A and B are shown apart, each in its own frame.
Chain A
Amino acid sequence: MLTSERPFVRVRRKLREAKNTISSEDKQLSILENEMISLHELKESILSAFGQTADLIMEQVRIAEEEGILFYLNSTIDKSQLQQTLMNKHTNQPNSSLDLKTVEGIQDFCEQMFGGSGYKLTQTAEEAINELLDGSFVIASKNFPLIISIGMPNTNLRQVAEPTSQTVIRGPKDSFVEASSINLSLIRRRIRNSNLRFEEFSIGSETKTKVYIGYMNEIANEKIVEEVRKRLNKINVSAIFESGNIEELLVDKTLTVFPLAFNTERPDTVAGELMEGKICIVVDGTPFALLVPVVFTDFFISSEDYYHHYMISSFLRVIRYISFMIVLIVPSAYVGILTYHPELVPTYLLINIMAQREGVPFPAVVEVLIMEFTFEILREAGIRMPRAVGQTVSIVGALVIGQAAAEAGLISNIMVIIVAITATANFVAPVYSLSAATRILRLILIPIAGFLGLYGVLLGLVVMVAHLASLRSFGVPYLAPIAPLNMKDQKDVFIRFPYWGLRRRPSYLRTAEPIKQEKSDLNTPPDMQGRNGG
Chain B
Amino acid sequence: MKKKVLCFLLSLQLLFLTGCWDQRELAAVSMAIGMAVDVGENGLYKITVEAINPAELNDQTASGNAPSVVFTLEGNTMSEIAHKMNIGFSKSLIFSHMKTVIISKEIAEKGMLQFIDFLERNREIRDDFNFIMVDEGKAADVLKVLYTIQKSSSLKLTRQMSTGSKLWGSDPDIRLTDFVNALTATGREPVMATVHISGNPKKGASMDNLKKSELDAIVEIDSLAMFRDEKFVGTLPIEQTRDYLWTQNKIKMTIVSVPCGNENYMALRIIHSRTKVKGDIQNGKPHIKLSIRAEGYINGNFCGPYPLNESSSYLMYEKKVEDYLKEQIGKMIHKVQKEYGVDIFGFGETVERQNPKKYKKYKENWDEAFQQAQIDIETDIKIRRAGLTSKGALLRKK
Contacts and interface: CB of A to CB of B under 8 A. Distances in A.
A347 to B, nearest CB: 5
Given A351-B52, A364-B25, A356 B97 contact: no
A415 to B, nearest CB: 12
B82 to A, nearest CB: 15
Contact of A453 (B22, B29, B52): B22
Contacts of B15: 451
A25 B185 CA distance: 99
Interface stretch (A230-238, A335-343, A495-503): A335-343
B19 to A, nearest CB: 9
Contacts of A338: 26
Contact of A357 (B26, B31, B94): B26
A390 interface: no
Interface string A425-468: 00000000000000000000000001111000000000000000
Interface stretch (B53-61, B171-179, B195-203, B385-393): B53-61
A354 B54 contact: yes
Contacts of A351: 31, 52, 54, 57-58
Interface string B7-26: 00000000110001011111
A526 B325 CA distance: 67
Nearest to A343: B96
B26 A347 contact: no
Given A350-B31, A354-B26, A354-B31, A343 B124 contact: yes
A356 B25 contact: no
Contact of A340 (B24, B31, B57): B24
A357 B28 CA distance: 10
A363 B54 contact: no
A355 B58 contact: yes
B99 A347 contact: yes
Interface residues of B, number: 24
Given A351-B52, A351-B54, A355-B61, A342 B24 contact: yes
Q: Among the interface residues A342, A352, A357, A360, which one has the most CB atoms of the partner chain B within 10 A?
A: A342
Interface string A32-70: 000000000000000000000000000000000000000
Contacts of B96: 342-343
The size bracket of the interface on A is: 20 to 34
A353 interface: yes
Contacts of B319: none
A347 B15 CA distance: 32
Interface in B88-104: 94, 96-97, 99
A226 interface: no
B252 interface: no
Interface string B29-47: 1010100000000000000
Contacts of A347: 31, 33, 97, 99
A358 interface: yes
A459 B20 CA distance: 16
Contacts of A355: 54-55, 57-58, 61
A351 B62 CA distance: 12
A235 to B, nearest CB: 25
A453 B20 CA distance: 9
B129 to A, nearest CB: 11
B27 interface: yes
A18 B54 CA distance: 78
14 contacts: A338-B26, A339-B23, A343-B126, A351-B31, A352-B58, A355-B57, A357-B26, A357-B27, A358-B54, A358-B61, A360-B27, A364-B26, A450-B20, A453-B22
Interface of A: 338-340, 342-343, 347, 350-358, 360, 363-364, 450-453
Given A342-B94, A352-B58, 17 more contacts: A338-B26, A340-B22, A342-B24, A342-B97, A343-B97, A347-B33, A347-B97, A351-B52, A352-B54, A354-B54, A355-B54, A355-B58, A363-B23, A364-B26, A450-B23, A451-B16, A451-B20
